Amino acid sequence: MKIHTGRVQTTFDMNIITVHPENIKTILATNFKDYSLGVRYQQLFPLLGNGIFTLSGEGWKHSRAMLRPQFSREQVSQIDTLRAHVSQLIHNFKTKSKNGTEFFDAQVQFHNLTIDTATEFLFGESTDSLADSDKKVQGPTRLVSATDFAEHFTAALDVLALRTHVGPLYWLVDGWKFRNSIDICHNFVTYFVNKALQNPLEKGTETTGRYVFINELTKETRDPIVIRDQAFNILLAGRDTTASLLSFIVFYLARDKRVWNTLRQAVLEEFGTEVESITFESLKRCTYLNYVINEVLRLHPIVPINFRTAIRDTVLPKGGGPDGNDTLFVPKGTKIVYTVYTTQRLKEFWGEDSEEFRPERWAEGKSHTWDYLPFNGGPRICIGQQFALTETGFTLVRIIQTFKDIIYQGSPSYENLSQWTKLTASVADGVWVSFVE
């Protein structure tokens, strides 16, 4: 008998843990109104304030409505802003690899890429960390360099992750260093917010010229704190996630020559060697590329574990009775932990080879809904999904167009892949590779 749901007593409280797709669907969609994010708001507030990622209820609804237009089809299908940053990434890969003779951690480079593209999208100016530039901006109380910002943003996120891991004792994880990092981050972003507010845009007007997220937000609000907080929420949601996805993919491609060769052939057939042939539409058309991305997201969902708290007495469809097939009562205040990492590897949904990396399974026509949730589901589904998939696809195609092989440092065995889970998952020891031109 397989048990997919259970009650777990922790030091602090009684939780329910579930991996059953029916229960996850109930929490995220069918009975969405019975749940909130619990103490996530308090845990993340010092850096993220009131934003789409931290709020529940009406505040969240308002944030979602305000941000939705920024992720329209036209917006996310523009890949012009990606080009220069990905060119810089490829340049770095070439110089660091010395044509397959030297190894470096590609995961660090992917983090630089995503902070550079995210800051360009959000603020209209990139941190340009891939190019080793160190721009400085004057915030309200201090001068901050882009490097300091990137470093302190990472440091603050590490503390936020720890605050989420200790549940209701989050308030014990604090301190001068953490507050100093937050101050540096807030100074950096406030500079761009103030700049946007000097020439705010009128609601209902068409944007001509280059799209900048915080300029667009001035059509919705003139409150600098609201704009700053929402920008941080997007930065948190969009930076490490896409960087980790690219890292896991390169990890697999470096080891699995069969998949690498199939993908290379599919990419060269669809896109040739020209950057101009890569568009939103051609990325969607390249099925094997999408299978590889889907398969990596299945084995390594970047948000592997998540939580919701019941705000009223409610029920889950599965988990009760002697065999776990009856409904389960959920008293108000119960925290429910759901682990899509496990759900996405369950044999009854994914077959006997569920632990294997096999992109071809996506061509077999089986439909997967609530047993495959890398971007979550229901009303809080990831708002940046298309943005992330476009950036990932574009970057991979450019890598494949440029390099004929990726060599992995170390044993060519999957067993070596261990992952870290902070707020999001990443490859624990980095992705040490070398690219062959």
Min dist CB 245 to ligand HEM, Å, is 4
> Which parts of 166-223 fold into alpha helices (H)?
176-198, 213-217
Q: How far is it, in rounded angstroms, from Cα 148 to Cα 136? A: 9
Q: Which is nearer to ligand HEM, 375 or 408 (CB)?
A: 375
Beta carbon of residue 166, minimum distance to ligand HEM (angstroms, whole number) = 18
- Least Cα distance to 178 among 204, 149, 205, 157 occurs for 157
Question: What are the structure tokens assigned to 107, written together?
Answer: 């995961």
Q: Does 393 bind ligand HEM (CB under 6 A)?
A: no
d(CA 31, CA 314): 9
> Which one among 251, 350, 357, 387 touches ligand HEM, defined by CB under 6 A?
387
Q: Which is closer to ligand HEM, CB of 97 or CB of 243?
A: 243
Cβ(389)–Cβ(278) below 8 Å = no
> Is 242 among the residues that bind ligand HEM (CB under 6 A)?
yes
In the complex, least distance from residue 64 CB atom to ligand HEM, rounded to whole angstroms: 5
**Contact characters 276-315, ligand HEM, x per CB under 6 A:** --------------------------xx--x---------
Which residues are CB-contacts of 358 (< 8 A; sequence separation ≥ 6)? Answer: 295
Q: Report yes or no: 241 and 374 within 8 Å, Cβ to Cβ.
A: no
Instruction: Decide whether 145 or 221 has the Cβ nearer to ligand HEM.
Output: 221
By rule CB under 6 A, what count of residues binds ligand HEM?
A: 22
CB-based contacts of 319, cutoff 8 Å, min separation 6: 4, 5, 6, 16, 18, 20, 23, 326, 327, 328
| Residue 286 marked as a ligand binder | no
Q: How far is the CB of 190 from ligand HEM (least distance, A)?
A: 20
Q: Binding to ligand HEM by residue 388, rule CB under 6 A?
A: yes
Residue span binding ligand HEM (CB under 6 A) among the ranges 77-85, 92-100, 319-327, 374-382? 374-382
Provide the minimum distance between the beta carbon of 142 and ligand HEM in the complex, in angstroms, as a whole number. 27
Q: Which residue is nearest to ligand HEM (CB)?
A: 384
Q: How far is the CB of 1 from ligand HEM (least distance, A)?
A: 30
276 DSSP assignment: G
Question: Is 187 or 395 the residue whose CB approaches ligand HEM more closely?
Answer: 395
How many whole angstroms separate alpha carbon 261 and alpha carbon 276? Answer: 23
* Residue whose C-alpha is closest to residue 41's, from 55, 58, 62, 60: 55
Q: Is 380 in the site for ligand HEM (CB under 6 A)?
A: yes
- x/- string (CB under 6 A) for ligand HEM, residues 21-60? -------------------------------xx-------
Cα–Cα dist 262/101, whole Å: 24
* Contact between 214 and ligand HEM per CB under 6 A: no
Which CB, 64 or 83, lies closer to ligand HEM? 64
Q: Which residues pair with 339 in a beta bridge?
A: 305
Take residue 143 and report the two structure tokens written for it.
């001068």
* Minimum distance, C-beta of residue 269 to ligand HEM, in the bound complex (Å): 25
Which among 62, 64, 117 is positioned nearest to 378, based on CA atoms? 64
Type of residue found at 240: D
Asked if 226 interacts with ligand HEM (CB under 6 A), we say no
Q: What is the CA radius of gyration of the chain?
A: 22
230 touches ligand HEM by CB under 6 A: no
What per-residue string of b and e applies to 242-254 under the rule 16 or more CB within 10 Å gives b? bbbbbbbbbbbbb
Residue ranges at the known binding site for heme: 382
Tell me which residues touch ligand HEM (CB under 6 A). 52-53, 64, 233-234, 237-238, 241-242, 245, 302-303, 306, 374-376, 380, 382-384, 387-388
